[in-house]
Amino acid sequence: MSTSSLYKRILRRETHSSRSGIAITLAVLLILVFAWIGTESVIAAVGGQALLVAPADAASATLDAASAPVGVLTAAGAVVAVIGVVLIVVALAPGRRGRRAGPAGDRAAAVVDDRVIARSLARTASYAGDVDPDQVSVSVGKRQALVEVTRTSGRSADLRSIEEAVRDELDGYDYRPALRPRVVLSKKGTVGA
Amino acid sequence: MNATNRALNRLLVLVVGLVLLAAGGAVAVGALLPDVQQTVSGAASDASGPTSDALSGGQPWILWVVAVACLVLIALLVWFALRQGGGRTGTLLELSEGKGAGSPTGGHLVVDAKVAEQMLEEALSDTAGIVSVDVTAFRVKRQTVLRVTANARKGASPLDVRKAVDRAIEAWDALLGTETPVVVQINGGLRTQLSGATRLD
Protein backbone atom coordinates (compact mmCIF):
# COMPACT_ATOMS: atom_id res chain seq x y z
CA MET A 1 0.00 0.00 0.00
CA SER A 2 1.60 3.23 -1.16
CA THR A 3 0.33 5.35 1.68
CA SER A 4 2.97 8.05 1.29
CA SER A 5 2.08 8.83 -2.32
CA LEU A 6 -1.58 8.76 -1.32
CA TYR A 7 -0.92 11.22 1.50
CA LYS A 8 1.12 13.43 -0.80
CA ARG A 9 -1.79 13.66 -3.23
CA ILE A 10 -4.29 14.34 -0.44
CA LEU A 11 -2.12 17.06 1.10
CA ARG A 12 -1.68 18.74 -2.27
CA ARG A 13 -5.44 18.69 -2.86
CA GLU A 14 -6.29 19.89 0.63
CA THR A 15 -3.92 22.86 0.55
CA HIS A 16 -4.82 24.10 -2.95
CA SER A 17 -8.08 25.29 -4.42
CA SER A 18 -9.92 23.21 -7.00
CA ARG A 19 -11.25 26.38 -8.69
CA SER A 20 -14.61 24.68 -8.92
CA GLY A 21 -16.41 27.91 -7.96
CA ILE A 22 -15.12 29.97 -10.86
CA ALA A 23 -15.28 27.01 -13.25
CA ILE A 24 -18.95 26.39 -12.43
CA THR A 25 -19.73 30.11 -12.71
CA LEU A 26 -18.15 30.29 -16.15
CA ALA A 27 -19.92 27.10 -17.22
CA VAL A 28 -23.31 28.47 -16.13
CA LEU A 29 -22.70 31.79 -17.93
CA LEU A 30 -21.67 29.97 -21.11
CA ILE A 31 -24.72 27.69 -20.83
CA LEU A 32 -26.99 30.73 -20.61
CA VAL A 33 -25.34 32.38 -23.62
CA PHE A 34 -25.48 29.22 -25.72
CA ALA A 35 -29.08 28.53 -24.69
CA TRP A 36 -30.06 32.02 -25.77
CA ILE A 37 -28.23 31.78 -29.12
CA GLY A 38 -29.71 28.32 -29.76
CA THR A 39 -33.24 29.44 -28.93
CA GLU A 40 -33.01 32.51 -31.13
CA SER A 41 -31.66 30.38 -33.99
CA VAL A 42 -34.52 27.92 -33.81
CA ILE A 43 -37.11 30.70 -33.57
CA ALA A 44 -35.59 32.45 -36.56
CA ALA A 45 -35.40 29.17 -38.51
CA VAL A 46 -39.12 28.46 -38.05
CA GLY A 47 -39.83 32.11 -38.79
CA GLY A 48 -41.16 33.22 -35.42
CA GLN A 49 -40.85 36.48 -33.48
CA ALA A 50 -37.40 36.98 -31.94
CA LEU A 51 -37.12 36.87 -28.13
CA LEU A 52 -34.61 39.69 -27.79
CA VAL A 53 -32.61 40.04 -31.02
CA ALA A 54 -32.92 38.02 -34.21
CA PRO A 55 -29.63 36.33 -35.29
CA ALA A 56 -29.54 38.33 -38.53
CA ASP A 57 -29.81 41.63 -36.65
CA ALA A 58 -27.20 40.51 -34.11
CA ALA A 59 -24.72 39.56 -36.85
CA SER A 60 -25.15 42.83 -38.74
CA ALA A 61 -24.90 44.84 -35.51
CA THR A 62 -21.60 43.10 -34.74
CA LEU A 63 -20.28 43.87 -38.21
CA ASP A 64 -21.42 47.50 -37.95
CA ALA A 65 -19.61 47.81 -34.65
CA ALA A 66 -16.30 47.59 -36.52
CA SER A 67 -16.82 51.17 -37.66
CA ALA A 68 -17.84 52.47 -34.24
CA PRO A 69 -15.78 55.31 -32.69
CA VAL A 70 -12.20 54.33 -31.84
CA GLY A 71 -12.47 55.28 -28.15
CA VAL A 72 -15.49 53.09 -27.49
CA LEU A 73 -13.97 50.10 -29.31
CA THR A 74 -10.67 50.43 -27.49
CA ALA A 75 -12.31 50.74 -24.09
CA ALA A 76 -14.61 47.77 -24.65
CA GLY A 77 -11.74 45.67 -25.97
CA ALA A 78 -9.50 46.63 -23.06
CA VAL A 79 -12.15 45.68 -20.48
CA VAL A 80 -12.69 42.29 -22.10
CA ALA A 81 -8.94 41.73 -22.34
CA VAL A 82 -8.43 42.57 -18.66
CA ILE A 83 -11.13 40.05 -17.67
CA GLY A 84 -9.30 37.53 -19.84
CA VAL A 85 -5.98 38.24 -18.13
CA VAL A 86 -7.59 37.83 -14.68
CA LEU A 87 -9.01 34.46 -15.71
CA ILE A 88 -5.65 33.33 -17.10
CA VAL A 89 -3.93 34.29 -13.83
CA VAL A 90 -6.58 32.40 -11.82
CA ALA A 91 -6.11 29.36 -14.05
CA LEU A 92 -2.32 29.30 -13.77
CA ALA A 93 -1.70 30.51 -10.19
CA PRO A 94 -1.08 27.85 -7.53
CA GLY A 95 -4.33 28.74 -5.73
CA ARG A 96 -3.18 28.28 -2.14
CA ARG A 97 -6.01 28.01 0.36
CA GLY A 98 -4.33 29.38 3.48
CA ARG A 99 -3.52 25.97 4.86
CA ARG A 100 -0.31 24.05 5.25
CA ALA A 101 0.76 20.47 5.76
CA GLY A 102 1.82 19.46 9.25
CA PRO A 103 2.37 18.72 12.07
CA ALA A 104 3.85 15.59 10.50
CA GLY A 105 3.13 12.17 11.92
CA ASP A 106 3.55 8.54 10.89
CA ARG A 107 -0.01 7.42 11.16
CA ALA A 108 -1.99 10.21 9.51
CA ALA A 109 -1.45 13.15 7.19
CA ALA A 110 -2.41 16.52 8.65
CA VAL A 111 -3.39 19.93 7.33
CA VAL A 112 -3.63 23.03 9.49
CA ASP A 113 -5.52 26.23 8.76
CA ASP A 114 -3.21 29.27 8.90
CA ARG A 115 -5.69 31.03 11.19
CA VAL A 116 -5.32 28.30 13.80
CA ILE A 117 -1.54 28.74 13.69
CA ALA A 118 -1.91 32.51 14.00
CA ARG A 119 -4.19 32.29 17.04
CA SER A 120 -1.95 29.76 18.72
CA LEU A 121 1.11 31.96 18.15
CA ALA A 122 -0.77 34.99 19.45
CA ARG A 123 -1.57 33.16 22.66
CA THR A 124 2.02 31.96 23.07
CA ALA A 125 3.32 35.49 22.46
CA SER A 126 0.94 37.09 24.92
CA TYR A 127 1.93 34.61 27.63
CA ALA A 128 5.64 34.96 26.96
CA GLY A 129 5.59 38.75 26.85
CA ASP A 130 3.02 39.15 29.62
CA VAL A 131 0.84 41.36 27.47
CA ASP A 132 -2.88 41.27 26.96
CA PRO A 133 -3.96 38.90 24.14
CA ASP A 134 -5.72 41.84 22.47
CA GLN A 135 -2.37 43.57 22.12
CA VAL A 136 -0.85 40.87 19.95
CA SER A 137 -1.77 40.46 16.31
CA VAL A 138 -0.34 37.68 14.19
CA SER A 139 -0.55 37.33 10.43
CA VAL A 140 0.63 34.15 8.79
CA GLY A 141 1.91 34.52 5.24
CA LYS A 142 3.33 31.90 2.96
CA ARG A 143 6.68 31.60 4.72
CA GLN A 144 6.58 34.13 7.53
CA ALA A 145 4.60 34.53 10.71
CA LEU A 146 4.52 38.22 11.62
CA VAL A 147 3.87 38.84 15.30
CA GLU A 148 3.03 42.44 16.05
CA VAL A 149 3.04 43.45 19.71
CA THR A 150 1.48 46.68 20.93
CA ARG A 151 2.98 47.48 24.30
CA THR A 152 1.20 49.25 27.10
CA SER A 153 2.37 52.87 27.45
CA GLY A 154 5.03 53.24 30.09
CA ARG A 155 5.90 49.54 30.18
CA SER A 156 8.52 47.78 28.15
CA ALA A 157 7.65 44.66 26.26
CA ASP A 158 10.10 41.77 26.38
CA LEU A 159 10.50 41.17 22.66
CA ARG A 160 13.34 38.70 23.06
CA SER A 161 11.39 36.28 25.18
CA ILE A 162 8.36 36.62 22.89
CA GLU A 163 10.53 35.81 19.89
CA GLU A 164 12.07 32.82 21.67
CA ALA A 165 8.67 31.45 22.67
CA VAL A 166 7.25 31.87 19.17
CA ARG A 167 10.32 30.27 17.62
CA ASP A 168 10.09 27.35 20.05
CA GLU A 169 6.49 26.78 19.15
CA LEU A 170 7.13 26.92 15.41
CA ASP A 171 10.11 24.55 15.75
CA GLY A 172 7.84 21.98 17.32
CA TYR A 173 5.50 21.87 14.36
CA ASP A 174 7.40 20.96 11.21
CA TYR A 175 5.08 22.71 8.77
CA ARG A 176 5.55 22.60 5.02
CA PRO A 177 6.05 25.30 3.82
CA ALA A 178 7.94 26.17 7.00
CA LEU A 179 7.28 29.42 8.85
CA ARG A 180 9.88 31.93 10.00
CA PRO A 181 8.84 34.10 12.95
CA ARG A 182 9.27 37.87 12.90
CA VAL A 183 8.36 39.80 16.00
CA VAL A 184 7.93 43.56 15.76
CA LEU A 185 6.88 46.17 18.26
CA SER A 186 4.08 48.40 17.07
CA LYS A 187 4.91 52.12 17.05
CA LYS A 188 1.72 52.92 18.90
CA GLY A 189 1.17 52.19 22.56
CA THR A 190 -1.99 51.28 24.43
CA VAL A 191 -3.02 53.45 27.33
CA GLY A 192 -4.31 51.91 30.50
CA ALA A 193 -4.36 48.26 29.51
CA MET B 1 -10.16 15.81 -1.37
CA ASN B 2 -13.18 15.08 -3.55
CA ALA B 3 -13.02 13.61 -7.02
CA THR B 4 -13.11 16.94 -8.89
CA ASN B 5 -11.00 16.96 -12.02
CA ARG B 6 -8.89 19.99 -11.24
CA ALA B 7 -6.94 20.03 -14.49
CA LEU B 8 -10.22 20.30 -16.38
CA ASN B 9 -11.32 23.24 -14.19
CA ARG B 10 -8.05 25.03 -14.87
CA LEU B 11 -8.37 24.28 -18.58
CA LEU B 12 -11.88 25.75 -18.83
CA VAL B 13 -10.88 28.94 -16.99
CA LEU B 14 -7.71 29.21 -19.08
CA VAL B 15 -9.50 28.73 -22.40
CA VAL B 16 -12.21 31.28 -21.57
CA GLY B 17 -9.50 33.69 -20.37
CA LEU B 18 -7.46 33.27 -23.56
CA VAL B 19 -10.51 33.74 -25.78
CA LEU B 20 -11.51 36.93 -23.94
CA LEU B 21 -7.93 38.25 -23.99
CA ALA B 22 -7.52 37.53 -27.69
CA ALA B 23 -10.90 39.00 -28.64
CA GLY B 24 -10.60 42.06 -26.40
CA GLY B 25 -6.97 42.64 -27.35
CA ALA B 26 -7.69 42.36 -31.08
CA VAL B 27 -10.58 44.82 -30.86
CA ALA B 28 -8.66 47.33 -28.73
CA VAL B 29 -5.43 47.21 -30.75
CA GLY B 30 -7.23 47.00 -34.09
CA ALA B 31 -9.27 50.11 -33.30
CA LEU B 32 -6.14 52.04 -32.36
CA LEU B 33 -4.32 51.30 -35.63
CA PRO B 34 -6.03 53.33 -38.42
CA ASP B 35 -4.98 50.98 -41.25
CA VAL B 36 -6.38 47.91 -39.54
CA GLN B 37 -9.52 49.73 -38.49
CA GLN B 38 -10.20 50.94 -42.02
CA THR B 39 -9.64 47.52 -43.61
CA VAL B 40 -11.74 45.68 -41.05
CA SER B 41 -14.66 48.09 -41.09
CA GLY B 42 -14.63 48.08 -44.90
CA ALA B 43 -14.68 44.30 -44.99
CA ALA B 44 -17.38 44.24 -42.33
CA SER B 45 -19.70 46.53 -44.25
CA ASP B 46 -19.10 44.46 -47.41
CA ALA B 47 -19.97 41.31 -45.47
CA SER B 48 -23.05 42.65 -43.73
CA GLY B 49 -25.32 42.27 -46.79
CA PRO B 50 -24.62 38.56 -47.52
CA THR B 51 -24.62 37.72 -43.78
CA SER B 52 -28.04 39.13 -43.09
CA ASP B 53 -29.38 37.45 -46.26
CA ALA B 54 -28.03 34.11 -45.10
CA LEU B 55 -29.40 34.43 -41.59
CA SER B 56 -32.83 35.87 -42.38
CA GLY B 57 -34.35 33.01 -44.32
CA GLY B 58 -32.06 32.56 -47.30
CA GLN B 59 -30.29 29.56 -45.80
CA PRO B 60 -32.18 28.23 -42.78
CA TRP B 61 -29.78 25.28 -42.41
CA ILE B 62 -27.16 27.65 -40.95
CA LEU B 63 -29.55 28.46 -38.11
CA TRP B 64 -30.22 24.76 -37.46
CA VAL B 65 -26.48 24.04 -37.40
CA VAL B 66 -26.00 26.87 -34.89
CA ALA B 67 -28.83 25.51 -32.74
CA VAL B 68 -27.41 21.97 -32.74
CA ALA B 69 -23.92 23.24 -31.95
CA CYS B 70 -25.32 25.22 -29.01
CA LEU B 71 -27.15 22.14 -27.76
CA VAL B 72 -23.97 20.04 -27.88
CA LEU B 73 -21.96 22.73 -26.07
CA ILE B 74 -24.68 23.09 -23.42
CA ALA B 75 -24.70 19.34 -22.83
CA LEU B 76 -20.91 19.35 -22.43
CA LEU B 77 -20.98 22.26 -19.99
CA VAL B 78 -23.80 20.74 -17.90
CA TRP B 79 -21.85 17.50 -17.68
CA PHE B 80 -18.79 19.52 -16.67
CA ALA B 81 -20.64 21.46 -13.95
CA LEU B 82 -22.34 18.39 -12.50
CA ARG B 83 -19.22 16.31 -12.17
CA GLN B 84 -17.65 18.68 -9.64
CA GLY B 85 -17.23 17.28 -6.17
CA GLY B 86 -18.16 13.74 -5.41
CA GLY B 87 -15.90 10.96 -4.19
CA ARG B 88 -17.57 10.62 -0.81
CA THR B 89 -18.43 7.15 0.32
CA GLY B 90 -20.60 5.73 3.06
CA THR B 91 -18.65 2.50 3.34
CA LEU B 92 -15.39 2.53 5.23
CA LEU B 93 -14.38 -1.10 4.98
CA GLU B 94 -15.58 -4.16 3.14
CA LEU B 95 -14.29 -7.67 3.83
CA SER B 96 -15.44 -10.63 1.80
CA GLU B 97 -15.37 -14.17 3.07
CA GLY B 98 -11.87 -15.56 3.02
CA LYS B 99 -10.66 -17.85 0.27
CA GLY B 100 -7.39 -19.14 1.69
CA ALA B 101 -6.57 -20.56 5.09
CA GLY B 102 -5.91 -18.02 7.82
CA SER B 103 -8.10 -15.33 6.34
CA PRO B 104 -11.32 -14.38 8.09
CA THR B 105 -14.14 -16.68 7.13
CA GLY B 106 -17.84 -16.62 7.37
CA GLY B 107 -19.82 -14.02 5.57
CA HIS B 108 -19.35 -10.55 4.29
CA LEU B 109 -18.45 -7.63 6.55
CA VAL B 110 -19.27 -4.02 5.79
CA VAL B 111 -18.18 -1.26 8.17
CA ASP B 112 -20.07 1.95 7.61
CA ALA B 113 -18.21 5.27 7.73
CA LYS B 114 -20.81 6.40 10.27
CA VAL B 115 -19.27 4.03 12.82
CA ALA B 116 -15.91 5.75 12.58
CA GLU B 117 -17.63 9.12 12.64
CA GLN B 118 -19.50 8.44 15.84
CA MET B 119 -16.59 6.75 17.61
CA LEU B 120 -14.13 9.55 16.81
CA GLU B 121 -16.58 12.35 17.58
CA GLU B 122 -17.34 10.73 20.91
CA ALA B 123 -13.67 10.19 21.72
CA LEU B 124 -12.76 13.80 20.95
CA SER B 125 -15.84 15.51 22.36
CA ASP B 126 -14.25 16.43 25.69
CA THR B 127 -10.83 17.51 24.41
CA ALA B 128 -10.05 21.00 25.65
CA GLY B 129 -8.72 22.43 22.38
CA ILE B 130 -11.42 21.08 20.07
CA VAL B 131 -14.83 22.62 19.54
CA SER B 132 -16.26 19.98 17.24
CA VAL B 133 -15.25 17.13 14.98
CA ASP B 134 -16.56 16.07 11.56
CA VAL B 135 -15.57 12.75 10.03
CA THR B 136 -16.11 11.89 6.36
CA ALA B 137 -14.91 9.01 4.21
CA PHE B 138 -13.60 9.57 0.67
CA ARG B 139 -12.42 7.33 -2.12
CA VAL B 140 -8.95 8.38 -3.24
CA LYS B 141 -6.86 6.24 -5.60
CA ARG B 142 -9.13 3.21 -5.00
CA GLN B 143 -8.63 3.44 -1.25
CA THR B 144 -11.04 4.66 1.38
CA VAL B 145 -9.56 7.60 3.26
CA LEU B 146 -11.04 8.90 6.47
CA ARG B 147 -10.95 12.66 6.87
CA VAL B 148 -11.13 13.94 10.43
CA THR B 149 -11.87 17.66 10.56
CA ALA B 150 -11.20 19.13 13.99
CA ASN B 151 -12.44 22.66 14.59
CA ALA B 152 -9.86 24.05 16.98
CA ARG B 153 -10.77 26.33 19.85
CA LYS B 154 -9.44 29.89 19.66
CA GLY B 155 -5.76 29.88 20.63
CA ALA B 156 -5.44 26.11 20.87
CA SER B 157 -2.08 24.72 19.85
CA PRO B 158 -2.36 22.75 16.60
CA LEU B 159 0.19 20.31 17.98
CA ASP B 160 -1.99 19.49 20.99
CA VAL B 161 -5.03 19.08 18.76
CA ARG B 162 -3.02 16.80 16.50
CA LYS B 163 -1.87 14.67 19.43
CA ALA B 164 -5.41 14.30 20.75
CA VAL B 165 -6.70 13.28 17.32
CA ASP B 166 -3.81 10.82 16.91
CA ARG B 167 -4.68 9.17 20.23
CA ALA B 168 -8.31 8.85 19.15
CA ILE B 169 -7.24 7.36 15.82
CA GLU B 170 -4.98 4.87 17.61
CA ALA B 171 -7.89 3.73 19.75
CA TRP B 172 -10.07 3.49 16.65
CA ASP B 173 -7.41 1.42 14.83
CA ALA B 174 -7.28 -0.98 17.75
CA LEU B 175 -11.06 -1.28 17.72
CA LEU B 176 -11.32 -1.77 13.96
CA GLY B 177 -8.38 -4.17 13.84
CA THR B 178 -6.94 -2.66 10.67
CA GLU B 179 -5.62 0.68 9.52
CA THR B 180 -7.26 2.87 6.91
CA PRO B 181 -5.47 6.00 5.68
CA VAL B 182 -6.47 9.05 7.71
CA VAL B 183 -6.05 12.73 6.99
CA VAL B 184 -6.47 15.18 9.87
CA GLN B 185 -7.67 18.68 9.08
CA ILE B 186 -7.30 21.28 11.82
CA ASN B 187 -9.63 24.15 11.01
CA GLY B 188 -10.46 27.49 12.49
CA GLY B 189 -13.80 28.12 10.90
CA LEU B 190 -16.95 29.89 11.91
CA ARG B 191 -17.53 27.70 14.93
CA THR B 192 -14.09 28.59 16.23
CA GLN B 193 -14.86 32.26 15.95
CA LEU B 194 -18.12 31.89 17.84
CA SER B 195 -16.63 29.81 20.63
CA GLY B 196 -14.72 31.20 23.57
CA ALA B 197 -10.97 31.26 23.94
CA THR B 198 -9.20 28.14 25.08
CA ARG B 199 -9.30 27.19 28.70
CA LEU B 200 -6.16 28.11 30.60
CA ASP B 201 -3.99 25.06 30.96
H or E stretch covering B94:
strand B91-95
B66 shares its domain with B128:
no
Indicate the average pLDDT of chain A: 84
A186 Cβ neighbours under 8 A, 6+ residues apart:
A148, A149, A150, A151
Please report residues of B whose CB lies closer than 8 A to that of A26. 12-13, 16
Q: How many domains does chain B have?
A: 2
The whole-angstrom distance between A185's CA and the closest CA on chain B is 21
In degrees and rounded to multiples of 5, residue B187 shows phi and psi of -110, 155
Residue A54 pLDDT more than 80? no
Q: At what angle do helices B158-176 and A114-129 cross, to 10 degrees?
A: 130
> Which helix (H) or strand (E) is B139 found in, with range?
strand B130-140
Answer yes or no: do B118 and B182 share one domain.
yes
Residue B71 covered by a domain:
yes
- Which residue from B12, B24, B184 is facing A81, i.e. has the nearest CB? B24
Residue type, B73: L
Enumerate the residues of chain B whose CB falls inside 8 A of the CB of residue A21. none
- Pairing type for strands A136-140 and A144-149 reads antiparallel
Higher-confidence position of B124 and A68: B124
Interface contact A70-B31, CB threshold 8 A: yes
Min Cα distance B123 → chain A (Å) is 17
A111 and B9 within 8 Å at the Cβ level: the answer is no
Q: Do B27 and A77 touch (CB under 8 A)?
A: yes
Residue B200 maps to a domain = no
Classify residue B201: in a domain, yes or no: no
Is the confidence at residue A83, as pLDDT, over 70?
Answer: yes
For residue A31, how far is the Cα from the chain centroid?
Answer: 27
pLDDT at A70 > cutoff 90: no
Output the pLDDT for position B37. Answer: 73
The SS3 of residue B76 is helix
pLDDT for position B193:
57
Q: Which residue has the higher pLDDT, A52 or A2?
A: A52
Which sequence spans correspond to the domains of chain A?
17-92, 99-185
B160 assigned to some structural domain: yes
**DSSP for residue A155:** S
* ipTM of predicted complex: 0.76
In this prediction, residue B199 carries a pLDDT of: 47
Rounded distance between C-alpha atoms, residue B138 and residue B89, angstroms = 5
Angle between the A70-92 and A20-45 helix axes, to the nearest 10 degrees? 130
The residue count of chain A comes to 193
Angle at B159 between CA B158 and CA B163, to 5 degrees: 115
**Which residues of chain B fall below pLDDT 50?**
198-201
- Looking at residue B102, its pLDDT comes to 60
Per residue in A123-134, pLDDT tens?
Answer: 888 888 888 888
- Taking the alpha carbons at both ends of chain B, their separation in whole angstroms is 34
Distance CA A125, CA A133 (A): 8
Look at the alpha carbons of A7, A9, A11, A14 in this order and tell me if their dihedral is positive or negative.
negative
Q: Could you tell me if residue B59 is inside a domain?
A: yes
**pLDDT exceeds 50 at position A114:** yes
Is the pLDDT confidence value at A43 over 50? yes
pLDDT at residue B1, as a whole number = 60
Q: What is the dihedral of CA A15, A17, A18, A23, to 10 degrees?
A: 180
Supply the pLDDT for residue B201.
Answer: 41
In chain A, what percentage of residues exceed pLDDT 90? 13
Exposed e or buried b per residue across B96-133, where buried means at least 16 C-beta atoms within 10 angstroms of its C-beta? eeeeeeeeeeeeeeebebeebbebbeebbeebebbbbb
Cβ burial, residue A22 (10 Å; 0-12/13-18/19+): buried
How many angstroms separate the Cα of B121 from the Cα of each of A85, B57, B153?
Answer: 45, 68, 15
Average pLDDT value for residue range A57-74: 77
Q: How big is the A-B interface in CB pairs under 8 Å?
A: 273
First to last CA, chain A: 57
- CB count, 10 Å around CB of A172? 11
Q: Give the pLDDT confidence score for residue B142 in this predicted structure.
A: 82
pLDDT for res A87: 93
pLDDT at A53: 77
Residue B87 lies in a domain: no
Q: Do A85 and B17 touch (CB under 8 A)?
A: yes
Neighbours of A159 (CB within 10 A): 17
Domain carrying residue B178: 112-194
CB contact under 8 A, A59 and B21: no
Of A99-108, A131-140, B54-63, give the range with the top mean pLDDT.
A131-140
